[in-house]
Amino acid sequence: MSFIGPETQAGLLIITFIMMILVYLKFSMSGIPRLRVIFLCIFCLVTWILSFGSSLIDKSPAHSLLWELLSFLGMAATIFILFIAFYEILASPGM
């Protein structure tokens, strides 16, 4: 059972890296530090990368569902945090 295939997760991971770099550049150019968003995004991204890598390495039936579930939750949290970052960019006056 697989929630999302490895090809899709790898593509979303690349897109997330690009979006995170853009969010970081926008926050650094605006002069308004939003460190909580950047730290949360880094934490969720590290969780996602570790669980995605573990799901690719460990193929035992006992652990595969656990790693795929953690990978899915890390991916969802990362995308949710990026939406929060975009909202803060758009909602901040003077940017």
pLDDT exceeds cutoff 60 at 94: no
**What pLDDT, on the 0 to 100 scale, is given for residue 93?**
60
The predicted model gives 63-70 an average pLDDT of 75
Count structural domains, the chain: 1
Domain extent at residue 74:
6-91
- In-domain check, residue 1: no
34-47: burial string, b at 16+ Cβ within 10 Å, e else: beebbebbeebbeb
- In-domain check, residue 33: yes
The predicted model gives 25-37 an average pLDDT of 70
The predicted model gives 42-65 an average pLDDT of 76
- In-domain check, residue 51: yes
Q: Which residue has the higher pLDDT, 93 or 72?
A: 72
pLDDT exceeds cutoff 80 at 1: no
- In-domain check, residue 58: yes
- Calculate the alpha carbon distances from 59 to 26, 54, 65, 73 in Å: 40, 9, 9, 19
**What pLDDT, on the 0 to 100 scale, is given for residue 4?**
67
